[in-house]
Structure 1
Amino acid sequence: MVMGATAIRLGFVGFGEAAGLFAAGLAAAGIGPLVAVDPAAADSTARQRLLERAGAATVDLAADASRLAAATVVFCLVPAPVDRAATRSAAPHIAPGALWVDFSSTSPEDKRACAAIVAAAGGRYLDAAILGSVPTSGHRVPVIVCGEGAADFAAAFNRFGMAIAPVEGPIGTAAGVKLVRSILAKGLEALWVEALLVARGAGVLDAVLDDFCGFLDARPARATAELLVESHPIHAARRADEVRLSRDIVLAVGIAPTLTDAIVARLEATAATGVADKLAGRPPADLATALAVLAEAGAPRSDDLAIPPPDGPRSSR
């Protein structure tokens, strides 16, 4: 059932920048009253900053989670490391049947654990993932959400300017989409940084930008993904040779070849499977076939790679 503004009593767990922008946009759209619970509100150092943020969004700020008892919907926006702890602390105070929407950028496993905590407290849980920049778009930032009642939630809040799309799948699906998408989004960011620093150092920045942006602009992004992945099994070895030569330029201009080395490793790993010979030099017919061929040929597994644990040693670069 779609809720109107008067039926929505919105609470926040965590009141950082994203929560403040969500609250300001939704308050301006007509949702209220709003309450936010943030343990930092009890800290004299952080309290003034939180009060200013709350005042700008006409939000009643509290440190005590019991203030959530009147909320029909709770938005949880806390840092990933404290998502479970924040949920354990606040969920027992929500009303029976209240909807808990977890926007925190955490793992599918954490989302499933938080869903169990909310269910035990008598609430309903949705896994939500923010797919854009909240500082840029405010409460209108693209969001995906999954779980029972996701479509009703999207319909209710999209009426107030949000851009929520329900996705099929169990709790953890939205979190998984966000984190896998981050490999592309943050990977492209890092790759652009390394490549353009090298181009600048080599004195070819404008020429590289003009040429490569022309390549990207020549077709839709999905078609570019298909072109590159479908040709990858056949041409990985040749492309690895070419990027090894590129590496010489990276070193010559004094840039660490972090991504360049990773590209060579990825291409060499595919070439080493012999998949090009198995395909007799003919590229797969489509993206799904290409990915299936690569998986069957033996894409490197995580236990084959020397990756330190999250709390292990990190490079100083």
Structure 2
Amino acid sequence: MAGYADGTPLDRVQYLEAKLILKPDNFTSVQAFRDFGKIVQRTAKKLGVGFIEDREAELRPQIREIIFGDTSDFRLYNNAFILRRRISYVDGFPVGDPEVVFKYRHPDEQKAAAVDVRPQIAGKYRIKFKAEALPLKDQVGGYRILYSHNCQFGLSQVHEGNRSSVTTLVKVFPALATLKKSDDEKIALVNEGIVEEVLLPLGELDFGKGIVAKCDISLWRTRGEHKSLVGEFAFQVKFDRKEDVAEKQKKLVAQFYVTLQNDVENWLALGVTKTAMVYRLKGNEPQSHE
């Protein structure tokens, strides 16, 4: 059986996250989030998918700050790696431990699995290997899959100094070793962009046989000028082994995802991801595997 250099078996996909990237124009108030949620509920009802509304759907949206780090020539992103930090805010103040997410995202499942994203840190971390469904790049009514091999941990779990150094980055994430060019390289904010994420939990979709997916809707905009970048509706299912998910449930999840695309066609932004929008902030079009 294939494994990593230390003999650990390769990680396997245990999440399906289905995303719809949305034009930001409609999201001028929290009511637009709830209006979209009503469409989701109607589509679910039409297909016999259960929906349990989240009590937080009637509360204020959550606010999170997100930044991406990369070399000046976007070497991480151009090689299918993504590095970001996320901070949650409550009543205007940061709360909790900032979360670091390091991921390798690629359309080839085996390639994504083979990259060892485990960090060399003394603290705790979590690995999540996801199949991410996105609409086709140029038309509504289908889907494509990206495989996202993620590692996440609290910033307090890293004790190395000089966190902006590529040398430090490679020490923490050995998977990046081949990308390092010199000892004095730095990573910096991608396009000097700080993203404010406004997120509202909508509820849970029940596809039967224990396949339940939390769903939410969010808007990404830049801090400062508050330029709206992109919206997103997403739902996520967790399972132990994808082979164990019943065929009927697989078909229902796919049917719901495709039907919802048709029901919200005017809202959709095709051919983009949230991360890509940040990398395009200054008009640069980096190469990507997305």
Q: Which has the larger radius of gyration?
A: 1
Higher helix share: 1
Q: Give the TM-score, by structure 1 length.
A: 0.21
Q: Give the TM-score, by structure 2 length.
A: 0.22
Higher strand share: 2
